[in-house]
Structure 1
Amino acid sequence: MKKIIYTTLAFILTFNSYSQIAKGDKEYEKFAYVDAIKTYERLFEKGYKSQDMLEKLANSYYFKADLGTAVLYYRELFALKVDLEPEYYYRFSQCLKSIEDYKKADEIMLKFNQKNDNDLRAKLASLEKNYLDEIEKNSGRYIIENAGINSRYSDYGSAFYNNKLIFTSARDTGVIGGSRKHSWNGESFTNLYNADIDDQGNVFSPKKFGSELKSKFHESTPVFTKDGKTVYFTRNNYLNGKRGKDSDKTTLLKVYKATLNGDKWENIIELAFNSNDYSVAHPSLSADEKTLYFASNMPGTIGQSDLFKVSINADGSFGEPINLGNTVNTEGRETFPMITSSNELYFASDGHPGLGGLDIFVAQQQEDGSYKNIQNIGKPLNSSKDDFGFLINEKSRFGYVSSNRDGGEGSDDIYKFIEIKKLECEQFLLGIVVDKITGLPLANTKVTLSGENYDKLRELVTDNQGKFDFGKVDCGSKYYIKSEKQEYAIVEISTVTKEESGKTEVKIELEKEVKAVKLGDDLRFAFGIEVIYFDLDKSKIRSDAAIELAKILDVLEQNPTMEISIGSHTDCRQTAKYNLKLSERRARATMLWLVEKGIKKSRLTAKGYGETQLVNNCGCEPTNESNCTEQQHQANRRSEFLVTKL
């Protein structure tokens, strides 16, 4: 029943004219998947196999969340070797995960990536190739067991209310003359039930809840204000005896609000941002009750269903819904949000890499409202089937989750869990400060850590090995580190911490403001001057070389007694004799450039060395040929500036 939000998202396709297939088409288009499956299966058993029939048969089981059966028909579909839309590759991959055939699932996902590389799900799959290893790291943090209140029907979607657990069930509508059945899955329409909770999180004695909230259609997934006087809940588009439909005559989902008067729920109203043309479902309240989170396929949705939030104003009105963005939402299904007091967003998704079907993920909300560090919460809460409806008591750490995993009593069941270890991304930021020229560590250097908005966070000094440790910081966040030491220029660098638990290490190099130069030093190294490059077979001073020569010029101007020797070099191509002449022209060109800028010629000497002093193994003799790259050859076309007098 949890999938009712997705009924609006199924394909409306065109079928052939055979009467039985036409009947199946009609049921499919009405989303009466139980009847459609019967029709298609009878045809399949008689040996009929067409692309459109197999697509719809496989999709019927996919949307019914019976992925294990759907995989059989997707296999038949892919065996036809016909051209398929990329989405079929994604669904087939998800179904393969449901039977834990992860190797084949990854192969199909790779083809999905190739066909649809702009899809967020494709990008995530490409970036997170080791997703199973990451899930394994996050696993083993829960003890899970059947909650003990499940029926042979669908039970799911729980909420806390006055020391009770409120949940959704299709077990019994209580309608005289028999229960009304939904053709989509053959079960009764869902209603709300409550069960008592003891100190250990055990639940028992389920009873119907809120008869005033009940309609002849689905009610599900409530959330209550802390004072217990207001409830937001999901219902089919039905109010005051009137049933709303979209342009396809389908009754979608809306979120409603009711208030408690005495012991009765009254003033049932639909929220202002609902619509007959899209679904809104599965509300969740922030701790301060000023923001409502929900799932929808409203305009602006990235995928099949997205997570949104909307402000609740002081007068009870609502702001404009805001999509949580493509860090959370994908082209797949994101649904069943739950926000904690520490701004952790738990949600179900089949768009982020998981174990199969819907998996539960958690994201940390940042100060600016964005989300980072999306993590799969791991096994055993996640399985190869659909897992959703995460709910946790933040003090006791017990909670409940819904799943259609193997071994349950109904199509969906509620499981109790206890969290024995929190899922935390722990990043530690540390590093070392060294002298840029000597590489030696710089002790007693003041290092200051600031956040992305330049807010000062921590300040300390390096130890006698030049090391510093800022300790625990946020994962996947940008920081600035400023380093200050007497006689050195102040340096500030930025770094982004890793998305997973571990260490982010940085190396900071400081340069002295006043540099000591001795005879024989090469000014390039002493002053951080780049290599003076020349083009192949040229001696003309390039524009980038002129910038570097200007640094040499400034040094000579500031030190009027300094004299230097200019050494020019070539790569190995051409003959040794030719290269010697070329290097001499380059040395003279460099010297003349400095003379033209006002440096006395007597302070300068110039010498060409040809290819006799290569900086790498890119020699050409005796064949005058080399397999080196152009970049390697260019490293040899250089000029050096050695101090000969101070």
Structure 2
Amino acid sequence: MTKRITVLVTFLALVINFTGNAQERLVNKADLDYDQYSFRPAIDIYKRVMDKGFVSADLLKKLSNSYYFNADYDEAAKTYKKLIETYTTDAGPEHYFRYAQCLKSIGNYDESNKMMSKFTELTSDDIRADVYKNDKDYMAEIKRNSGRYDVGPFQYNSPYSEFAPAFYKEGLIFSSDRDTGNLARYRHTWNSKDFLDLYKVNADSVSDNLVTKLSKDVNTRLHESTSVTTKDGNTMYFTRNNFKGGKYIKDENGVIRLKIFKSTLKDGIWQNIEELSFNSDSYSVAHPVLGPDEKTMYFASDMTGSLGESDIFKVEIKEDGSFGEPVNLGNTINTEARETFPFVTSEEILYFSSDGHPGLGGLDVFGTKIANSKYDGAILNVGEPINSKMDDFTFIMDEASRKGYFASNRPEGQGADDIYSFTENKPLMFDCKQEITGTVRDKISNEVLVGATVKVIDENNEEIMSTITDSEGKYSLSLDCNQGNFVRAQIEGYVPSEEYIGKSDGKPKIIDFYLERDTVTAGFGDDLSKLLQLSTIYFDFDKYNIRKDSEIEVEKVIAAMEKYPSLRIKVNSHTDSRGKDSYNLWLSQKRAEATVNYMISKGIEKARLQGEGYGETKLFNECANGVKCSAAQHELNRRSEFIIME
């Protein structure tokens, strides 16, 4: 830890630790082949096979994805877990991402983060991984928000620490440890520096351009910091160490916690100091700010219900001056790390500092709209030059003048922490919209699908909007380009398809969907193996026993016959062209019989099965007698088919 950040980190560490498919479901069309089930629900068939102990990576992929697209995230999570643990090398990045999304949906955030970390290891240049690694896409987002501020000096900085500016009358109140002249002062035992006090500047005509300390009733021999005053200037809330009756109070771990205190102005003096009702000796509350109507206070705390080291809360200020119960602003704003130093503008934009959201280093300043008490909007990094590789915090702004202040411990400052002034030249793009248009079609016939539903689903698997295709199969949507979304097309009788749309610059995008039917009508003479999307049942050269890698495919046919008792099947078996024609005819018959006997041994009635061998009379490819072919090409002809008889 560098010397420049010692004051800020030590102070806050002493009292609170404040500074110390959804899926990328970029759905691959090839991966959806397995979803072209012949009978619904396909889940039943795959589940029957798995319950019998016949498991493969392919089956688990299809079953888990089937659960996923049916929004059964609990079962999907269990199946993805089995896939990843049993067939690690076969599990691709999409499966890790979908598993992570499912875990998030069922509240298992720790395991979800592990899977997302693994996902980022398996991917590169992927928008979904931006929040876990600083790649070029993430940095482009920060760059897009940068350059909107002109940053200047604060003439009242000193070689010591200044931060926590707060608007007061025509000037500011801020926190500093600049009082080093009094040898009798109490000093912080961790860094031998003075404790922080509250100062004001340009707040009263008699003290223009002079920095003066607030009264002794406010400033004690411990820390005072982060203040806010009401618009009439008569009430102030501020942060102080747990200090009562001239004594500081420690918790059970020996830590002097932070509390919020209230003071009223009488005869030009701050007095009537009292602590707020939701303070505690066992956790900290700090950094108060008021909402535009002054009926809500926002603050930081590590109280029960916090998601991380410190979270941002709100609390109602009632008409009689009492307070309601604190409410956590939720896991869109708060993370498992540090969210602190809130500030709310007149336009209901919440600015705060965090090292849990992706930033440039240390604490960064972020903004989010909280109008109508909604706390799930896009979290935007305000970019450079407000943010830097160091800690950037205590951001405040007057939206009428577009001017404000913030603090940072960047090395070019005078002291450990310094206040900087700024002017905002361009606001954050909270209302960035991206137009998405396209057409939904049948994948095979290319016919447009009228009345198909196109949904927008956010990264928490919640539907936020939908539309229906018109008479030409077209749709149009307007997305929030400050957050990632999934666009999903679906219609009765078809497998849903979706694409992930990450954060963008708002440029229009065309996405056409080609949907596959989810039900195939089976009739006499149809090949069940094609309808069930089975892998081909192959045999070794000159052998007729069922290979281990083929057993699971036969089990799928058995599961279908168990589910549909009226189904009758004829097994057609074939050989390659090598060997005598008569021998091949005999061998193929043995293969058909072996397949039928296997199914009978598994409980299928003999009367529902037939078997016939065709030798080399129905080759799959051109590898006939006298044609030179590879071993792999010959293997394609050694196969069994399952023809529906009834």
Same fold flag (TM > 0.5): yes
Task: Name the amino acid aligned to 1:168.
Answer: S
Distance in 2 between residues matched to 1:344 and 1:634, nearest whole Å: 64
Q: Secondary structure at the match of 2:202?
A: strand
Matched residue, 1:308: 312
Residue 389 of structure 2 corresponds to residue 384 of structure 1: yes
Conserved 8 A contact 2:258-2:285: yes
CA contact (8 A) 2:311 2:335 kept: no
1:171 shift after superposition: 3.7
CA distance in 2, matches of 1:445, 1:436: 16
Deviations 1:397-424 (A, max 9, x none): 3321101212222222111222334444
1:442 to 433, 444, 448: 448
8 Å CA contact 2:316–2:326 kept in 1: the answer is no
The match for 1:5 is 12
Alpha-carbon distance, 1:233 to partner: 0.9
What is the alpha-carbon distance in structure 2 between the residues aligned to residue 467 and residue 409 of structure 1? 60
**CA distance in structure 2 between the partners assigned to 1:340 and 1:121 by the alignment:** 36
The CA deviation string for residues 524-578 of structure 1, in whole angstroms up to 9 with x for no partner, is 77xx653376587439894522455699998x99xxxxxx997556899999948
The 1:230–1:613 alpha-carbon spacing in structure 2 relative to 1, beyond 3 Å, is farther
> In structure 2, the residue corresponding to 1:294 is in which secondary structure?
strand
Alpha-carbon separation, structure 2, partners of 1:136 and 1:615: 58
Matches of 2:409 and 2:511 in 1, distance apart? Answer: 43
Give the deviation of 1:7 after TM superposition. 1.9
Shift of 1:147: 2.9
Tell me the TM-score normalised to structure 2 length: 0.60
Whole-angstrom CA distance in 2 between matches of 1:6 and 1:196:
31
Gaps of 5+ in 1: 11-116, 198-202, 558-563
Task: Give the 3-state SS of the residue equivalent to 1:255 in structure 2.
Answer: strand
1:293-372 aligned at under 5 Å gives the runs 293-298=298-303, 305-312=309-316, 314=318, 315-323=320-328, 328-329=333-334, 332-340=337-345, 344-363=349-368, 371=376
From the superposition, tell whether residues 512 and 490 of structure 1 become closer, same or farther in structure 2 (CA, over 3 Å).
Answer: closer
Work out which of the residue numbers 509, 512, 515 in structure 1 matches 2:515. 509
Specify the alignment match of 1:139 in structure 2: 146
Higher relative contact order (CA 8 A, sep 6+): 2
Q: 1:580 aligns with which of 582, 585, 588?
A: 588
Contact 1:579 1:611 in 2 (8 A): no
Of 496, 499, 502 in structure 2, the residue corresponding to residue 498 of structure 1 is 502
Structure 1 residues 153 and 508: alpha-carbon distance in aligned structure 2, compared to 1, 3 A threshold: same
**2:243 matched to 1:238?**
yes
Cα contact 2:529–2:535 (8 A) shared by 1: no
Q: 375-384 or 348-357, which moves further after superposition?
A: 348-357
TM-score relative to the length of structure 1: 0.60
> Could you tell me how far 1:146 is from its partner in structure 2?
1.1
- The verdict on how the C-alpha distance between 1:514 and 1:252 changes in structure 2, with shifts beyond 3 A counting, is closer
Judged with a 3 Å threshold, the aligned counterparts in structure 2 of structure 1 residues 596 and 148 are, in CA distance, closer, same or farther, namely same
What is aligned with 1:72?
Answer: none
- Deviations 1:36-64 (CA, angstroms, capped at 9, x unpaired): xxxxxxxxxxxxxxxxxxxxxxxxxxxxx
Alignment partners' CA distance in 2, 1:249 and 1:320:
27
Q: Secondary structure at the match of 1:213?
A: coil
Distance 1:533 1:248, change over 3 A: closer
Matched residue, 2:413: 408
CA contact (8 A) 2:162 2:176 kept: yes
In structure 1, how many angstroms separate the alpha carbons of the residues matched to 2:196 and 2:220? 9
Deviation at residue 234 of structure 1 after TM alignment: 0.6
Label 1:248 to 1:442 Cα distance change in 2 as closer, same or farther (>3 A).
closer
2 CA distance for matches of 1:455 and 1:340? 29
Q: How far off is 1:509 after superposition? A: 1.4
> % of aligned pairs identical?
34
SS class of match (1:5): helix
In the alignment, which residue of structure 1 is the partner of 2:162? 155
Counterparts of 1:504-583 in structure 2 under 5 Å? 505=511, 507=513, 509=515, 511=517, 529-531=532-534, 534=537, 537-538=545-546, 542-546=554-558, 548=560, 568=573, 577=584, 580-581=588-589
Describe the SS at the equivalent of 1:254.
Answer: strand
Shift of 1:470: 0.3
Counterpart of 1:157, as a letter, is: A
Greater displacement, 528-537 / 394-403: 528-537
RMSD: 5.6
One-letter amino acid of the structure 2 residue matched with residue 544 of structure 1 = K
Q: Which amino acid aligns with 1:275?
A: S
The aligned residue for residue 472 of structure 1 is: 479
Which amino acid is 2:236 matched to?
Answer: V
Q: 1:377 to 1:581 in 2, by over 3 A?
A: farther
Aligned position for 2:36: none
Q: How many residues align?
A: 503
Is the contact made by 2:442 and 2:449 (CA closer than 8 Å) also made in structure 1? no
Matched, 1:285 2:287: no
**DSSP-derived class of the 1:545 partner:** helix
User: 3-state SS of the aligned residue for 1:205?
Assistant: coil
Contact 1:181 1:189 in 2 (8 A): no
The letter for the 2-side match of 1:152 is: P
Amino acid at match of 1:312: E
Counterpart Cα distance in 1 of 2:399 and 2:285 = 27
